[in-house]
Chains A and B, each alone.
Chain A
Amino acid sequence: MVHQPISAFIIDDDKIFVYGFNKLLQLRHLDAQIQAFNNGKEAIDFLTNPINSQFLPDIIFLDINMPVMNGWEFLKEFEEIQSQLGKKISIYAITSSVDVNDIERAKNNTLIKDYILKPINDTHLKQIFNLHGDEYVSKAQLS
């Protein structure tokens, strides 16, 4: 099989979390290309720019609470542009919010594959990367 790293977006204004996420992937030798966005708007701008059509991600890790365009607003916009993207993208909500309204809302949103409470751990990573190609998992030293 041709080796091709997983491409993922992380949309989160929490710089420390983004750093930690990258570091964790690196420590686990998960060969993923991560691109970070400060908020939903930046990601939407990227996705809708035709120049980037070949750099679309396989996975989006989406924070809920963000300034400018939050997770919910991003999902609304994403739903509209989804069909034009020509690629199936899985979205995981990653948040610190234990607000039952947020959890309920995430459950009812078909775009969201799963709702993961921060901080992210190995079990989460295993789940997510398992779903996106076995060869990566075999490479990873997941405990």
Chain B
Amino acid sequence: MSFQEGQKYTGGTMAHSAHVLNTIDVGIWEYNITTKKVIWSAGFYKNLGYAPCEIDCSQRYFFDELLYYKDRDTFINTIRHASEEPATTQIRLLTKKCGYHWFESKAYKTETEAGTVLYGIISNINEYKLLEYQAAENSFLCAETNRIAKMGGWEIQTESMSLRLSKEIYDIYELDAQVPLSVEEAISFFEPAYRPLIIDAIDNAVKYCKPYDMELLFRSAKNNLKWVKAKGVPVLDKYGKCVVLRGIFQDIDSIKRRGINLQSSINLLDDQNKRLQNFAYIVSHNLRSHAGNLKFMVNLYEETDHKSDRDEIFSHIKTISNSFNATMGHLDEIVKIQSEIGRERKPVNFEKTFNNVLSALTTNIAAANATINADFSSCKQINYIPAYLESIFQNLLTNALKYKHPDRAPVINCYTKQSGNHIYLIFEDNGVGIDMQRYGNDVFGMYKTFHQNPDSQGIGLFITRNQVEALGGSIKVESTVNVGTKFTVRLV
């Protein structure tokens, strides 16, 4: 007899066991396939809530009255596979008072002198089963919530820096297989510019127990760019050392993009608002100065009797009247820009438009002895409002001629450039230049002039900027005094 065998009960001890079987809290049953005889232990009745003689101890009663009909097939199936090794399953049996309860059933088959015997144990697992249901429901809810929120949980063991990610995170990473990722690998999915941020945050969390909550740009395995929220909270041991770093990872792309759009709309509005206010001040200033001068001159006219004085004053009144008209013209032009934004854009040919402007300015060009080099081969045409493009060309060209250097003939280079979705128009001159340090902020301002040219009105570049920006572009200027000026216009 092996040592193992010695641990088993033998026939000699079985008689004493009957007493034990009847007192323990599990139900035991036995069915002799040969004799069809059924025995149920006292625990069997007790587990179901019956007194031993209250129900019929038979195979028929078990299958027809006690076993839940849906569990019948599973039960029979397990019993069929029973042997010396237990066949385990979970079944529902009708209790006397509480309806069906869950039981764990273990069934064995053994050959005895009295024939083939099936026997088994049932034990009430209803409470455990209910908890299991609840847990399943909770985890379903949790998984469902996470799926809807596109959010997952992660954990780093700081000792080994091993990383564990929930399934939802793999979904965000767009990795099909849930292959283990190292912290470095997980970080490598962030856009390069954002990697130092997340590395620092993890470092600080591990070293100084500093939690973090960041919004970062991320590129998934399938090359989708998205905004994500990465939140990390250190878990400390009793010495205050961070042992685990855990957190959430969430795809917030749609929210973030909406936020970014909103912010850029706000910035745009803010910008427009500032410009509008500035415009209002300028308009008020200019109209006021004309009106003021007019009143001033009229008063003086009334006060003086000298013919020569009156003539002079009247000539000033004429000048004021002309300036007044010019200012109104500028205002019309600016207001027109706003009303024309909605006009249809058409394909406009750069070279053709430029040549139109050149021929209109022939006299000015000849007078300045200017050389003009134009090259629109990089981008020949653009979808734009034709009148705007013409106006932009005209203002920039007039500007370059107007602010030519006194010591040299103007050389003006004009060309287009395409980069990504953007089309650029570049204008370079070798004129007097603008002191950017002093006037950089004012170059595109209304009625801002930096030279003492009598024909400087400070309106051309203001209008150009308005036209460019009204169609979603931008304009910038680089300049060096006595060297020249370069305007770069992003048209779209």
Contact = CB atoms under 8 A, between A and B. Distances in A.
Contacts of B438: 73
A23 B300 contact: yes
B378 interface: no
Given A20-B316, A38-B452, 14 more contacts: A16-B293, A16-B319, A19-B312, A20-B297, A20-B300, A23-B313, A24-B296, A67-B449, A67-B452, A73-B438, A98-B284, A118-B289, A119-B293, A120-B296
A97 B281 contact: yes
A39 B238 CA distance: 74
6 contacts: A16-B319, A23-B309, A24-B300, A73-B438, A98-B281, A98-B285
Contacts of B408: none
A67 B451 contact: yes
Interface residues of B, number: 29
The secondary structure that dominates the A interface is loop
B287 to A, nearest CB: 9
B292 A67 contact: no
B431 to A, nearest CB: 17
Contacts of B449: 67
B450 A67 contact: yes
Interface string B318-332: 011000000000000
Interface string B77-102: 00000000000000000000000000
Interface string B282-310: 00111011001101110010011000010
Contact of A96 (B289, B297, B300, B309): B289
Nearest to A98: B284
A88 to B, nearest CB: 29
Contacts of A20: 293, 296-297, 300, 316
B456 interface: yes
Contacts of A38: 452
Contact of B292 (A23, A24, A39, A118): A118
Interface string A1-42: 000000000000010110110011001000000000011000
B189 interface: no
Contacts of A118: 288-289, 292-293, 296
A65 interface: yes
Given A16-B316, A67-B449, A67-B450, A119 B296 contact: yes
B63 interface: no
